[in-house]
Structure 1
Amino acid sequence: MDGSLAFTPVRLGALRLKNRIVLPPMQQYQGTAEGFATAYHLHHYARRARGGVGLVILESTAIAAEGRLMADDIGIFTEAHVPPLAAIAGAVKAEGVPVMVQLSHGGRKSRPQGGGRLLAPSAIRYTADDGMPEAMTADDIARVVAAFATAAERALAAGFDGIELHAAHGYLLHQFLSPLSNHRNDGYGGGPGGRVRLLAEVLAAVRSVAGPEVPVTIRVSAADYDPGGLTAAEVAEMLAGLVGQGLDGVHVSSGGLTPTPPPETGPGYQLGFAREIRERTGLPVIGVGNIRGRAQVEAALQGGMADLVAIGRPLLVHPDLARVL
């Protein structure tokens, strides 16, 4: 296709990608009770790397035992978690594809194993049926920042090429960003500058262990879909303050802070958010959201909505999709 962008190389930080198709992080529900990755994960990610994508981002990987999202997710909160993750990273890279890992803490949406504490910026439940979280203390915040840095150090030792920080879908970093879930009156609450502070501190801590060359991206929800919640403009304002602070790109999603669904989920329904964040921050953007074919990918890239495009569920069904787009 003349003028095609999908299969042209692109840089994400210092990392050179052979094309602009990304396998985004998608939970596989195949971890052990202790949060270990398995042979399933190794096969799953290596197979999709073989299918022609330019970048693989490993699913949400917990940085702390109390921050696990569910009983069958995976984690990186002990040294023992590193070897199976290293095997996955090695298998993907053996296919000639770089691999990043998404680091997360679930906050009030966590499913702590073994009776761990449920933490959040403020003591506000996710829903009336969920547990009441504890408002995090200064010590709690410091421990979470340190846990993200330690997890990043372990991930790089395991061979991952980059780090994505999960600040979307209602998990802890998103909870701090949104005025709906963050009612703090200290330096981590209030206006956008306070609400973005934890994310800025996590980014700085991860960058300090990653060094200047390793790509570090952030996944955000650009809309909460509830009155008074985050909008793409406000998210862009907060991210703009991180430009020059070690942020290499933004992966733009939406929703998840509350059970409120998006008003529509048609083809490319989140790309408008991606365009706004790209234009307001100048950062490279990964666009995602019901993108299934070559025409949609090209429209997103040619139209300035994204620099890379993530294709999710279709790659679960058709691992070679990137080769036949």
Structure 2
Amino acid sequence: MTRTLNDPITIGGIPLKNRLIMAPLQQYKGTPEAFAAAHHIEHYGRRAKHVGLIVLESTAVSSNGRLWANDIGIYTDRHVEALRKVTDAVHAHNTPVFIQLSHGGRKSSPEVTTTLVAPSAIAFDEQYGMPQELSAEGIHNIIQEYRMAAKRSKEAGFDGIELHAAHGFLIHQFLSPLSNKRTDAYGGSSENRARFLKEVLAAVRGEVGRNYPVIVRISATDYSEGGLIPEEWARMLKPLESELDAIHVSTGGIIPVQPSDVYTAYQLPHAAAIKQHFKIPVIAVGQIYTRSLADRILEDGLADVIAIGRPLLEDPDYAEGMLTVREVSV
């Protein structure tokens, strides 16, 4: 059966009117206390009309894990009301919205972080500085922060959660052997390095239940020898598949190394490699900006959903064009 960008799909019981979603991109418009502002209400509401799903920008689960000094958070009950105004604006267009929950770990903003933490005392770079290795108690405390953030996410009206396990932030730091040199139950083997994600996911599920969508965003490659590759991701995520509802495939971020070339659909081969191991939907992202290319990816079964970000920053109606224009060639 032919699949196109306009075809509906269900993720974790939530029906999407089409297979084009808005990827999470930071707005750098949060208040100093990490509250969402009027900008977020207008920004996401304006872009919700045509896409099948919006994934909100990275939202901190901890005051000590914000990615930037002007990002948004959900680490207190006081953050809920402002975020509810954002979900209301998106829901006004009958579009679901997920929240991306994150902790920066060793890549938390130096401007607002009191104690930089990571699975191992290995610095990302000189700008961020040397993190402290998390103790077992510290790990437990952060897992509880994820749990409470999940609870607040439901209260704020979000339809689902995306766990940010990509781009070199804390969950990714535990997963990658480049940043995790622990010798306890959270380090060493693939199974041990995946333990933090497994326990975060269990804590989140304990709050939201199994019928509430939870997806994960991953960096399928670390762009470095000895780093993560799709095959190892498959080994780590396969035991968690029954508790996940989709996998959003990005790349990089664990070390200060960029891909050698960025081109149209440059991350697609990694999404396709992940997809062959899983039955749950796989989301592809990375310069997939034309209708013909998106349809070809879906038709060939390389991914199930297409995410776009930057074009929507420049043109809030970009999705409408992708969903209505059929092109002859890429």
What TM-score range do you get, normalising by the shorter chain?
A: over 0.9
* Contact 2:22 2:54 survives alignment (8 Å): yes
Q: For residues 134 and 182 of structure 1, what CA distance do their matches in structure 2 show?
A: 12
Partner residue, 1:289: 286
Structure 1 CA distance for aligned equivalents of residues 316 and 295 of structure 2: 20
Runs of 4+ in structure 1 off by over 4 angstroms are 112-115
Partner of 1:191: 189
Structure 1 residues 139-178: aligned runs within 5 Å: 139-178=137-176
C-alpha distance in 1, partners of 2:280/2:261?
A: 26
Equivalent positions of 1:175-324 (< 5 A) are: 175-244=173-242, 246-324=243-321
Aligned length: 322
Distance in 1 separating the partners of 2:111 and 2:260: 34
* Equivalent residues of 2:109, 2:128 under 8 A apart: no
Identify the range of structure 1 (298-307 vs 112-121) with the bigger mean alpha-carbon deviation.
112-121
Task: Structure 1: state its 5+ residue gaps.
Answer: none
**Alignment partner, residue 134 of structure 1:** 132
| Residue aligned with 2:259, SS | coil
Counterpart code for 2:92: A
8 Å Cα contact 2:63/2:113 also seen in 1: no
2:40 counterpart residue number:
41
Q: Unpaired runs of 5+ in structure 2?
A: 323-330
CA distance in 2, matches of 1:223, 1:212: 29
- Length-normalised TM-score, structure 2: 0.95
| Residue 128 of structure 1, CA deviation | 3.3
Contact 2:66-2:113 within 8 A present in 1 as well:
no
Q: Cα distance, 1:29 vs. partner?
A: 0.4
- Alignment partners' CA distance in 1, 2:39 and 2:22: 16
Q: How far off its partner does 1:318 sit?
A: 1.5
Please, what is the CA RMSD of the aligned residues?
Answer: 1.2
Q: Is the 8 A contact 2:32 2:70 kept in 1?
A: yes
Counterpart of 1:20?
19
Question: Conserved in 1, the CA contact under 8 Å of 2:13 and 2:212?
Answer: yes
Letter in 2 for 1:25: P
Structure-1 separation of matches of 2:197 and 2:113: 26
Percent identity over the alignment is 50
Please list the CA deviations of residues 139-198 of structure 1 after superposition, one character each: whole Å capped at 9, or x if unmatched.
011011110010010010010000000000000000000000000000000010000000
TM-score (normalizing by structure 1): 0.97
Name the CA distance, whole Å, in 2 between partners of 1:259 and 1:114: 21
Residue pair 1:120, 1:136 contacting (<8 A) in 2 also: yes
Aligned partners of 2:296 and 2:32: how far apart in 1?
42
